[in-house]
Structure 1
Amino acid sequence: MNATTDLLPEWAQRPVSDEFLQALTARFGSQCSTALAVREQHGRDEGSIAAPPPAAVVFAQSTLDVQDAVKLCEQFNVPVIAYGAGSSLEGHLLAVEGGITIDVSRMNQILSVNTEDLTVTVQPGITRKALNDAIKDTGFFFPIDPGADASVGGMTATRASGTNAVRYGTMRENVLALEVVTASGEIIRTGNRAKKSAAGYDLTRLLIGSEGTLGIFTEITLRLYPLPEAVSAAICSFPSIEAAVHTVIQTIQMGIPIARVELVDVNSVRMVNAYSKLTLREEPMLLMEFHGSPTGVKEQAEMMQEIAGEFGGNAFEWAERPEDRTRLFTARHNAYFAAVASVPGCRCITTDACVPISRLADALLQCVTEADASGIPYFLVGHVGDGNFHFGYLIDPANDTQRQQAEALNQQLVQRAIALGGTCTGEHGIGIHKQGFLLEEAGDGAVQMMRAIKQALDPKNILNPGKIFQLQ
């Protein structure tokens, strides 16, 4: 498989005519910008891949804005990329074939809250934190937590999950319905607020995880959950990563309904201590959270502590106060930024594999050995309760040798995960970086079927072209 940087020259920038830009400006006025600083801001994400910026940025404020922008792009055969918070890691929002970006961050309203049915309908630009802040007084919350304060539209587009997925599932299980602008500029609705349906093809699930290649979301209906009566969090240090992982495996196999369980390796602990000014023990660590009734939470935590003790877990510390729990998980969420800050000027090549929980130790330990031997600075964190883990290799972007080493480590890791019955991406998506891995994982027949769907729904290939796979 070619390295990602070898793939970039294969994409040709499509021409964007003055006539198109004039039509765009006539329709959107001050909502349209061609300023270089604005275009560059919308032409990069948190990943390590570089590409030219889009030709223009449209700041949509309504479904009609999105519809009109897409119709103009369809008319002039111009690529169009949806942009939310810009927190993706795999090059999803890069304008590799040119075109324009539609920024939906101003479409950030809650349209309806239906607590009786445990649903909420929102616009795509609202972030997960803003959503939960707005509904906290209702007694309900939306649990999907990928770490970054991502937009709900972006989370839906990448089928995100995060720290709570072991108990509450991923975006796949928690998106009920969508309003979507198609490649032709038509507005369609998929799904409804009913808990289930057997009516026709499941278009909602098709679009979740489509990374903006099949349509642009303008409304999203989500599941809500009652705020737990009691919440307790704890940290526990271990003599080795292997001991921590086996603790998690046994906890899950015993059916303990833990809400979060995050693995943090010693490198990550060291980086987080420096970045967040904490004094955590610099050993492999699990961060855990339990939701339920006071009695249930106490029982779950005691069982978890007993299992951890069997594998050498020590320094079990409780965080009962909300501010202490927030401090711990904020530090975990900042692990990526802590790592990048630890090597000034670096870029991070991230992995995102997920394996069956029974094979987690097999997947991790060899990857750690390979990373240690490489000499490249790295960190390891993971939502290990569902078998999802992330290595981050910190490289000098000007050092081709380091990049090749990191890509080789990534390839070995993914191939190992696939061989163990896992996937190349548990939550980040394919984007640009993982296209070769998708073919390896899914097979040529499945990818050809995906191409057929893309060509049927977007015959001009204007919706985020060059992502997930390249059309043949």
Structure 2
Amino acid sequence: MEPWDAPFCTVNLVPIFAQGFFSQVKRGVRWFCLEGGTPVDWVCFQGAHWQGQAVLTLGWCQWGVGRGGCQKCWQPLLHSRTATGAGLWAQVSLSDSWLRVSSLQGELSKGFVEALKAVVGSSHVSTAVAVRQQHGHDESMHRCQPPDAVVWPQNVEQVSQLAALCYSQGVPIIPFGTGTGLEGGVCAVQGGVCINLTHMDKILELNREDFSVVVEPGVTHKALNTHLRDSGLWFPVDPGADASLCGMVATGASGTNAVRYGTMRENVLNLEVVLPGGELLHTAGLGRHFRKSAAGYNLTGLFVGSEGTLGLITAATLRLHPAPEATVVATCAFPSVQAAVDSTVHILQAAVPVARIEFLDDVTMDACNKHSQLNCSVAPTLFLEFHGSEQVLAEQLQRAEEITQDNGAFHFSSAKEAEERSRLWAARHSAWYAVLALRPGYKGYSTDVCVPISRLPEILVQTKEDLKAQGLTGAILGHVGDGNFHCLLLVDPEDPEELHRVMAFSELLGRRALALHGTCTGEHGIGLGKRQLLQEENSSASAQNCRGLACLPLGLSLAAAGGQLP
């Protein structure tokens, strides 16, 4: 077999030491020993870089290793071919015993691009550099080369044809929604075709009596609730950003209301999925929207949180909830992180039916005061929301106030008017941008973990201490009602040492959550940033089974996109 017959095989790079290094091709059983200047006929490799950049190479190249360490003696410009005629170029150099990728450029064959246009029309295909770069990243700091082409299908039939075309040619597929992710899940690690699903933005069916709705992938969280405004129903899963609903399904998203209404996993009834080979699957059966079932495997649950590694979600049947009769929001400030988190635990233990309970540390409150013109205490603070009748709300509010005062709260206030409630939650949802404004010109790095409620005080207090010990500017906030919180870290992109400390902090936080029987991510997903932590969280058997699912014949094309799989 010629190397270009396996267009997207990769190998893992390990640190390069004086004695050389070994790499194993994932597809096939071929080993390369690259040491002492030994030439090789061809090799495909995936670069190890903190931003997740990767490169395929093909052609004759040479490594030289001397007593003083690795020498920069390989070819500066490397090139690959694929079965579709795609080319990928990369300028590479060796630094600190790791591969560094400084520039990348991808290209698909003219014939393949024409085939894409034949499916969706010329106006819905782009290979322009600016468009590709726009679709090559999300809101995280993870970066790699852009996709080789971007297409905008208009219906599920076109998505099916695109998937079949790419699958037949071995070209990776990258589903794209609104690009609001925080772990680099849309990055085209090995190039390929980005399928932008935002043109499919219809609300297909609303069943008021059954409390369900069917939406296409381009419908966002805010658009759905605007549509439902006069129906007496709402969709409560709120990740903050105006994410696409099917993207929220793919990442297993959550949000501020999860403590009462659950995450996406509890609010998805059925999915329409285009498998990588183009086949159409309805995970619970065509048109079905039941609340529970004991009939076989839970295929719907399998696709929730799969991050595009198993298929493209082209429609979702979602569970709706009655809009609350009345709502009240409370804010309470505390002298310490410990006191605020203890209040959270005690409120939940007292069975107070809180709808939202959000923690914001002093850094976050300072940022929100400045950015959103609030006048709150610059101290660890809880935002709480209660839903129900007027009488029930008064009782819930009184009980919550008593608990917080028992834990040392020095300020407690409530807001019943819609305008004031909206202002407070708008400030909470804008916290990312508020924290970024603390250090203009700096970039934001966000990470999240989730632990059992009983371990929440311990990890939050320790995380606050870690930020100080590392000399990092960062804010802590989160949906502490279910043990999930975020760290928003500010980093100078031109300061490698600070960047190293940020990455080390993120890994430390993830491992501490695992040590406390939690998870490395509560809602952001794995993407590029947490693949190693995913391996540590799951057993080797679990990881092997996940890879097996993704690499079944109908899963191979999407799995090649690089996504979450370790």
Q: CA, structure 1 residues 395+102, in 2 after alignment: closer, same or farther (shift >3 Å)?
A: same
Instruction: Give yes or no for the alignment of 1:57 onto 2:150.
Output: yes
Q: Secondary structure at the match of 1:438?
A: helix
Instruction: Give yes or no for the alignment of 1:47 onto 2:140.
Output: yes
Query: Conserved in 2, the CA contact under 8 Å of 1:388 and 1:426?
Result: yes
1:369-412: CA deviations, max 9, x gaps?
01012122111111000000001111112211111101111111
Aligned partner letter, 2:109: S
Query: 1:20 — aligned with what?
Result: 112
1:14-56: CA deviations, max 9, x gaps?
6332221121123321011122221111111111111111111
Q: CA, structure 1 residues 459+44, in 2 after alignment: closer, same or farther (shift >3 Å)?
A: closer
1:439-471: CA deviations, max 9, x gaps?
11112111001001011154533356211124x
Aligned partner letter, 2:393: V
Q: Aligned equivalents of 2:458 and 2:269: distance in 1? A: 36
Q: What is the CA-CA distance between 1:7 and the residue it aligns to?
A: 7.5
Query: Conserved in 2, the CA contact under 8 Å of 1:44 and 1:91?
Result: yes
Q: CA, structure 1 residues 181+433, in 2 after alignment: closer, same or farther (shift >3 Å)?
A: same
Query: 1:190 — aligned with what?
Result: 283
1:158-188: CA deviations, max 9, x gaps?
0001100000000000000000000100111
Query: 2:175 — aligned with what?
Result: 82
Q: Aligned equivalents of 1:329 and 1:166: distance in 2? A: 16
Residues 113-132 of structure 1 aligned to structure 2 (within 5 Å): 113-132=206-225
Q: Aligned equivalents of 2:183 and 2:237: distance in 1? A: 20
Q: Aligned equivalents of 1:335 and 1:5: distance in 2? A: 29
1:85-130: CA deviations, max 9, x gaps?
1000000001111011111111111111111111111111100010
Query: 1:398 — aligned with what?
Result: 494
Aligned partner letter, 2:223: A
Question: 1:373 pairs with 469, 479, 491, which one?
Answer: 469
Aligned partner letter, 1:21: V
Q: Aligned equivalents of 2:528 and 2:429: distance in 1? A: 24
Instruction: Give yes or no for the alignment of 1:5 onto 2:49.
Output: yes
Residues 59-458 of structure 1 aligned to structure 2 (within 5 Å): 59-191=152-284, 192-456=288-552, 458=554
Q: CA, structure 1 residues 469+199, in 2 after alignment: closer, same or farther (shift >3 Å)?
A: same
Aligned partner letter, 2:114: Q
Q: Aligned equivalents of 1:344 and 1:18: distance in 2? A: 43
Aligned partner letter, 2:283: T
Q: Give the stretch that moved more between structures: 390-399 or 260-269.
A: 390-399
Length, aligned pairs only: 470
Q: Aligned equivalents of 2:483 and 2:440: distance in 1? A: 31
Q: CA, structure 1 residues 7+51, in 2 after alignment: closer, same or farther (shift >3 Å)?
A: closer
Q: What is the CA-CA distance between 1:10 and the residue it aligns to?
A: 5.0
Larger fraction in helix: 1
Q: What is the CA-CA distance between 1:294 and the residue it aligns to?
A: 1.4
Aligned partner letter, 1:379: A
1:291-345: CA deviations, max 9, x gaps?
1121111111111100000111122111111111111111101111111222222
Q: What is the CA-CA distance between 1:262 and the residue it aligns to?
A: 0.4
Q: Aligned equivalents of 2:518 and 2:449: distance in 1? A: 7
Q: Aligned equivalents of 2:479 and 2:553: distance in 1? A: 34
Q: Aligned equivalents of 1:444 and 1:48: distance in 2? A: 29
Query: 1:30 — aligned with what?
Result: 123
Q: Secondary structure at the match of 1:259?
A: strand
Residues 457-468 of structure 1 aligned to structure 2 (within 5 Å): 458-463=554-559, 465-468=561-564
Q: Percent of pairs identical after alignment?
A: 44
Q: Aligned equivalents of 2:111 and 2:479: distance in 1? A: 49
Q: Which has the higher contact order (CA 8 A, sep 6+)?
A: 1
Query: Conserved in 2, the CA contact under 8 Å of 1:73 and 1:462?
Result: no
Q: Secondary structure at the match of 2:283?
A: strand
Query: Conserved in 2, the CA contact under 8 Å of 1:214 and 1:457?
Result: no
* TM-score, length-scaled by structure 1: 0.96
Q: Aligned equivalents of 2:145 and 2:539: distance in 1? A: 31
Rg larger in structure: 2
Q: Give the stretch that moved more between structures: 332-341 or 433-442.
A: 332-341
Runs of 4+ in 1 over 4 A off after TM superposition: 1-4
* TM-score, length-scaled by structure 2: 0.81
Query: Conserved in 1, the CA contact under 8 Å of 2:53 and 2:189?
Result: no
1:190-227: CA deviations, max 9, x gaps?
11211111222111000000001100011100000000
Q: Give the stretch that moved more between structures: 195-204 or 324-333.
A: 195-204
Q: What is the CA-CA distance between 1:277 and the residue it aligns to?
A: 2.2
Q: Mind listing any 5+ residue stretches in structure 1 that lack a counterpart?
A: none
Q: What is the CA-CA distance between 1:269 and the residue it aligns to?
A: 0.9
Q: Aligned equivalents of 2:555 and 2:303: distance in 1? A: 17
Q: Aligned equivalents of 1:340 and 1:11: distance in 2? A: 31
Larger fraction in strand: 2
Q: Aligned equivalents of 2:387 and 2:560: distance in 1? A: 39
